[in-house]
């Protein structure tokens, strides 16, 4: 996903629009007041009449009835969502994580699903099965089972995929206060995401309006499964009675308590930017709206007090809330689960004061980057601390997210505040919601709380904890059967049930290693977490200790991988069980490093084999405790090194010119100006870059940033360097020339191809710089950022055309390349390298719609297909915040390949293969030291980097 959803997705409107918006706002506010004055007649001023109407008293009593399920709900034998003809299912021999007992309960046993609900868990009484001749029995052989995942923050359906003409239905741009809009009115049932998200185990999602407005509208909670009705409404779980104004019906049953409603609020950058308003304006928007709602509520309460005390009232008609305000009146009555998008302490403080001024509870704060810094403030919200819905690591994309911390889930949980992990789909593809919980667990959130953060905690925050998010008798039959422990990396559903209906018709299964049936013993990050709080989210990231020369001794090493002459080699690996050595010898090796380079390695008991270094007193001895040394990862695909805060232009290199769509300054040489070099805009020492470095990414190759056809020349650099003049900081100033071909660029695809053809064949364009000349000579690769297979096909023809006309060979690499699997053979024949920057593919738009999703939806992935055809494949990453987790992505790719990708191949995807694809000719690499496990493990922690180029050892 390239952009946040919210209003950041499209360029902000011009001032003309703003003036228009302001006028509209003003008119609407006047209109609101008018409607209000006419709909609420004060009991004291009107015509007096005695009212003793049973219906009216019921209506008045109903105002005080708390929202939630009626008592009869707990006795239900069939779900209101039950689909006639659904067969009962008996799941046998499961390891069931129920989410009960604060997430600590695991039951070994069976589960019976019938009539859309869970009939029994653990031991299913035989008697129960007697009346079910058609029961389908599934043997699970001890597989892990959890409740279906609940995503508290999603725009699924309202921002449907593939995206069309840059618009979504998630944000109105009309005015800041829109409590009357409803996400269900834009809920598209054809979103390609539903099937994908279900395949990741998500069964329920709260569909929120976007964050472009202070009050963006009402949200609805849906089940993701397709329905026979095919309607938006049929997806909604417990649709509130207010959805169709049925409260005004003559026969409305006031003895049934109201169902929970949901609403979105937002503060900070998104609404403020759209309406060119300040935080003070935003606060007033809220206060004014709530004050209007308060007046309506008080008038109703006074009316009802009079009715109930048989006093005189002005009218026999209940003073209905105006449609524009009725949802806010319900907020004041405590019947709405509010989801508030708020990052910074300043915004959280405003909302907490608002909640106390108008006395309403906040169900959840979302994104909520700074909540971990102000736990006491959260606890002082009216009605107690909200749940906090977070990303695990998606941070620093905008200024207000700069202090986000990967340790926030753990810190908040330590303060007893409920933690939710969410997707903000499609910002993060909710198919990988569980990965957010896995990352939170990696960074210190305990196992039970991590699993609850995507099941029962969001279910409760949405007021639906009585039927989803937990496995217990009487709950909705929403169940996920996993192929491994849900907190182990790459855990994939084998089957998903929603309302008792199996969702994946022909699931493809992966066979997982036995170790993945247990949760990982994640490393201790308590020092780092305390540091994050102490430094208010910006703890220093530089190495704790830097060793410039001498010998460093690593003990307790289990595996050593190196990059040598462009290939990855296993020097030893305990897991591969070298037959020549006995097991006790190979589980514990010693590795000596000298002046930043690997010097000698030997089984611990045979150190004499390294006599020439053992004589030298080591500067430091580092115990890796069964860990590993392996090549530093190279990151490619994000603007690492060119941006600090992606959406904050003042911190970035900026966008390059595009000669295809813009007039280029004569100072640059006009239309045939030489391509820009990323090397000239490089900025080092940024937080994403340093976090990547601490995550084992020791180098990066970055192309200039642009959204047009011509991007420019990429640079390769050391992520650990402080500035570009430091020794070893720049690896190669000019790696490859990058162009982009897609349907998002204003010019037609055929025009883009024409431009490329002219650049390749053109003879009179010597002025366009060395880069194009080197492309024509086949000296550096032409990297084409392209997703669509049809465009790739044209490029393959163009390459042939050029090569037969000139007798030269073009070096070509396809980057991004979501649809490359469709042309795998032709790509292999043309000797074109492919860099998959979206290893986890998503049908974002027309160009990317033909994805190969992988298990459980398909046996193959784009990666496995390309590897099988012997294409030189590499893996990249799109988001700079995510570069640091490349190692987990590789581990995942290995697991997804069912063993086809060995460790050496996996490392090559982010080292040697990538270097070949991007023209990095300086082969060899740094070494990263992992403690407690290897680079693919969520049990290991990076403790040092041995930098060959910078000739230092950085210790963290």
Ligand X SMILES: *[C@@H]1O[C@H](CO)[C@@H](O)[C@H](O)[C@H]1NC(C)=O
What is the rounded distance in angstroms from the CA atom of residue 628 to the CA atom of residue 573?
Answer: 9
Query: Which DSSP category does 49 fall into?
Result: B
As measured in angstroms, the least distance from the Cβ of 104 to ligand X is 7
As measured in angstroms, the least distance from the Cβ of 906 to ligand X is 20
Q: Which is nearer to ligand X, 249 or 291 (CB)?
A: 249
Q: Which is nearer to ligand X, 608 or 764 (CB)?
A: 608
What is the rounded distance in angstroms from the CA atom of residue 365 to the CA atom of residue 385?
Answer: 10
Q: Which is nearer to ligand X, 747 or 828 (CB)?
A: 828
As measured in angstroms, the least distance from the Cβ of 557 to ligand X is 9
Phi, psi dihedral angles at 736 (to 5 degrees): -155, 160
As measured in angstroms, the least distance from the Cβ of 801 to ligand X is 16
Surface-to-core class of residue 16, CB atoms within 10 Å of its CB (0-12 exposed, 13-18 middle, 19+ buried): exposed
CA Rg value for the chain: 30
Integer angstrom CA distances of residue 517 from 291, 485, 487 = 54, 5, 9
Surface-to-core class of residue 812, CB atoms within 10 Å of its CB (0-12 exposed, 13-18 middle, 19+ buried): buried
What is the rounded distance in angstroms from the CA atom of residue 324 to the CA atom of residue 337?
Answer: 18
As measured in angstroms, the least distance from the Cβ of 778 to ligand X is 9
As measured in angstroms, the least distance from the Cβ of 839 to ligand X is 20
Surface-to-core class of residue 508, CB atoms within 10 Å of its CB (0-12 exposed, 13-18 middle, 19+ buried): middle
Cα angle, residue 148 at apex, residues 885 and 157 outer, rounded to 5°: 80
Tell me the two tokens of residue 877. Answer: 């990453």
As measured in angstroms, the least distance from the Cβ of 775 to ligand X is 13
CA 825 to chain centre: 32
Q: Which is nearer to ligand X, 62 or 432 (CB)?
A: 62
As measured in angstroms, the least distance from the Cβ of 829 to ligand X is 10
What is the rounded distance in angstroms from the CA atom of residue 155 to the CA atom of residue 206?
Answer: 8
* CA nearest neighbour of 300 among 319, 315, 313: 319
Q: Which is nearer to ligand X, 472 or 604 (CB)?
A: 604
As measured in angstroms, the least distance from the Cβ of 69 to ligand X is 13
Cα pseudo-dihedral 355, 358, 359, 362, rounded to 10? -30
Sheet holding 136-147, edge to edge: 117-122, 106-114, 89-97, 136-147, 479-482, 493-498, 501-502
Q: Which is nearer to ligand X, 23 or 831 (CB)?
A: 831
**Furthest CA-CA distance within the chain:** 106
As measured in angstroms, the least distance from the Cβ of 626 to ligand X is 6
As measured in angstroms, the least distance from the Cβ of 426 to ligand X is 28
**Whether the Cβ atoms of residue 930 and residue 624 lie closer than 8 Å to each other:** yes
Q: Which is nearer to ligand X, 484 or 590 (CB)?
A: 590
CA 473 to chain centre: 32
Q: Which helix (H) or strand (E) holds 757?
A: helix 749-761
Q: Which is nearer to ligand X, 100 or 743 (CB)?
A: 100
As measured in angstroms, the least distance from the Cβ of 77 to ligand X is 19
Helix then strand count (H, E) for the chain reads 26, 34
Phi, psi dihedral angles at 547 (to 5 degrees): -110, 120
As measured in angstroms, the least distance from the Cβ of 927 to ligand X is 19
As measured in angstroms, the least distance from the Cβ of 461 to ligand X is 16
**Whether the Cβ atoms of residue 313 and residue 303 lie closer than 8 Å to each other:** yes
Q: Which is nearer to ligand X, 219 or 656 (CB)?
A: 219
**Whether the Cβ atoms of residue 190 and residue 849 lie closer than 8 Å to each other:** no
Place of tokens 């055309």: 801
Residues that bind ligand X (CB under 6 A): 101-102, 239, 241, 243-244, 246, 555-556, 588, 590, 604, 809, 811, 831, 833, 872, 916
Per DSSP bridges, beta strands 710-713 and 737-740 are antiparallel
b/e sequence 464-474, b meaning 16+ C-beta within 10 Å: bbbbbbbbeeb
As measured in angstroms, the least distance from the Cβ of 249 to ligand X is 7
End-to-end CA distance of the chain: 31
Q: Which is nearer to ligand X, 468 or 645 (CB)?
A: 468
* CA nearest neighbour of 855 among 866, 867, 841: 841
As measured in angstroms, the least distance from the Cβ of 94 to ligand X is 21
DSSP conformation letters of 367-382 = E-TTGGG-HHHHHTST
Q: Provide the strand spans (E) within 483-639.
A: 493-498, 501-502, 545-547, 551-564, 567-573, 589-594, 597-603, 620-631, 633-636
Q: Which is nearer to ligand X, 413 or 822 (CB)?
A: 413
* CA nearest neighbour of 827 among 857, 779, 862, 858: 862
**Whether the Cβ atoms of residue 260 and residue 463 lie closer than 8 Å to each other:** yes
Phi, psi dihedral angles at 425 (to 5 degrees): -45, 135
């Amino acid at each position: 996903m390239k952009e946040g959803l919210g209003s950041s997705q499209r360029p902000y409107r011009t001032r003309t629009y703003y003036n228009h918006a302001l006028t509209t706002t003003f008119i609407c506010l006047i209109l609101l007041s008018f409607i209000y004055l006419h709909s609420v007649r004060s009991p004291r001023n009107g015509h007096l009449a005695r009212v003793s109407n049973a219906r009216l008293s019921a209506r008045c009593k109903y105002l005080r009835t708390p929202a939630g399920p009626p008592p009869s709900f707990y006795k239900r034998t069939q779900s209101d969502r039950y689909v006639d003809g659904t067969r009962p299912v008996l799941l046998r021999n499961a390891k069931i994580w129920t989410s009960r007992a604060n997430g600590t309960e695991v039951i070994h046993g069976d589960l019976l699903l019938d009539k859309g609900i869970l009939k029994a868990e653990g031991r299913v009484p035989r008697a129960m099965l007697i009346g079910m001749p058609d029961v389908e029995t599934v043997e699970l052989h001890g597989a892990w089972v959890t409740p279906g995942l609940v995503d508290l923050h999603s725009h699924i359906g309202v921002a449907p995929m593939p995206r069309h003409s840059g618009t979504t239905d998630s944000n109105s741009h009309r005015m800041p206060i829109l409590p009357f809009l409803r996400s269900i009115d834009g809920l598209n049932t054809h979103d390609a995401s539903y099937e994908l998200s279900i395949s990741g185990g998500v069964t329920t999602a709260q569909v929120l309006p976007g964050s472009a407005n202070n009050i963006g509208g009402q949200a609805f909670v849906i089940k993701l499964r397709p329905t026979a009705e095919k309607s938006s409404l049929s997806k909604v779980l417990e649709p509130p009675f207010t959805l169709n104004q049925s409260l005004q019906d003559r026969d409305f049953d006031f003895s049934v308590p109201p169902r929970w409603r949901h609403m979105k609020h937002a503060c900070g950058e998104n609404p403020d930017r759209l309406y060119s308003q300040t935080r003070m304006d935003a606060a007033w928007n809220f206060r004014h709206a709530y004050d209007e709602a308060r007046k309506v509520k008080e008038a109703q309460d006074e009316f009802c007090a009079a009715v109930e005390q048989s006093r005189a009232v002005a009218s026999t008609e209940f003073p209905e809330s105006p449609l524009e305000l009725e949802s806010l009146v319900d907020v004041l009555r405590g019947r709405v689960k509010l989801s508030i998008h708020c990052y910074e302490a300043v915004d959280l403080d405003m909302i907490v004061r608002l909640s106390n001024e108008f006395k309403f509870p906040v169900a959840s704060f979302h994104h909520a980057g700074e909540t971990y810094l102000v736990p006491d403030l959260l606890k002082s919200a009216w009605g107690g601390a909200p749940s906090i819905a977070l990303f695990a690591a998606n941070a620093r994309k905008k200024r207000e997210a700069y202090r986000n911390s990967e340790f926030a889930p753990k810190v908040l949980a330590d303060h007893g505040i409920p933690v939710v992990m969410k997707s903000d789909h499609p910002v993060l593809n909710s198919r990988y919601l569980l990965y957010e919980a896995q990352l939170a667990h990696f960074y210190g959130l305990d196992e039970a709380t991590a699993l609850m953060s995507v099941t029962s905690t969001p279910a409760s925050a949405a007021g639906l904890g009585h039927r989803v998010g937990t496995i217990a008798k009487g709950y909705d039959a929403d169940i996920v059967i996993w192929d491994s422990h849900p907190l182990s990396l790459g855990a994939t559903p084998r089957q998903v049930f929603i309302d008792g209906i199996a969702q994946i018709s022909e699931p493809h299964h992966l066979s997982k290693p036995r170790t993945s049936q247990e949760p990982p013993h994640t490393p201790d990050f308590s020092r780092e977490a305390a540091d994050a709080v102490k430094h208010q989210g910006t703890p220093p990231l530089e190495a704790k200790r830097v060793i410039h020369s001498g010998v460093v001794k690593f003990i307790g090493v289990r595996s050593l991988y190196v990059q040598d002459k462009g290939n990855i080699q296993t020097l030893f690996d305990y897991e591969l069980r070298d037959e020549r050595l006995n097991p006790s010898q190979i589980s514990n090796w010693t590795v000596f490093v000298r002046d930043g380079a690997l010097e000698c390695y030997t089984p611990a008991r045979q150190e004499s084999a390294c006599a020439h270094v053992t004589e030298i007193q080591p500067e430091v001895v580092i115990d890796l405790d069964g860990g590993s040394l392996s090549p530093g990862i190279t990151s490619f695909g994000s603007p690492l090194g060119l941006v600090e805060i992606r959406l904050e232009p003042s911190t970035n290199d900026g966008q390059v010119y595009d000669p295809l769509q813009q007039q280029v300054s004569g100072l640059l040489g006009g239309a045939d100006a030489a391509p820009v070099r990323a090397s000239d805009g490089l900025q080092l020492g940024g937080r994403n870059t340093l976090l990547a470095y601490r995550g084992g990414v020791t180098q990066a190759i970055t192309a200039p940033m642009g959204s047009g056809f011509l991007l420019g020349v990429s640079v390769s650099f050391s992520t650990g360097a402080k500035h570009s003049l430091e020794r070893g900081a720049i690896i190669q100033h000019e790696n490859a020339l990058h162009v982009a071909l897609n349907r998002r660029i204003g010019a037609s695809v055929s025009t883009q191809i024409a431009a490329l053809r002219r650049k390749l064949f053109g003879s009179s364009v010597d002025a366009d710089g060395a880069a194009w000349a080197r492309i024509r000579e086949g000296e550096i690769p032409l990297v084409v950022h392209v997703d669509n297979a049809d465009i790739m096909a044209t490029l393959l023809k163009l390459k042939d055309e050029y090569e037969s006309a000139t007798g030269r060979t073009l070096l070509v690499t396809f980057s991004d390349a979501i649809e490359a699997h469709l042309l795998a053979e032709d790509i292999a024949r043309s000797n074109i390298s492919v860099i998959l920057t979206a290893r986890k593919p998503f049908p974002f738009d027309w160009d990317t719609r033909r994805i190969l999703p992988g298990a459980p939806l398909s046996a193959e992935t784009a990666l496995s297909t390309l590897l099988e055809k012997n294409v030189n494949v590499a893996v990249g990453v799109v988001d700079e915040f995510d570069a640091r987790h490349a190692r987990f992505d590789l581990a995942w790719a290995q697991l997804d390949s069912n063993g086809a990708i060995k460790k050496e191949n996996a490392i090559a995807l982010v080292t040697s293969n990538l270097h070949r694809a991007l023209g990095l000719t300086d082969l060899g690499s740094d070494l990263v030291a992992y403690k407690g496990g290897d680079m693919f493990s969520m049990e290991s922690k990076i403790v040092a980097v041995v930098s060959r180029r910078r000739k230092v050892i950085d210790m963290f």
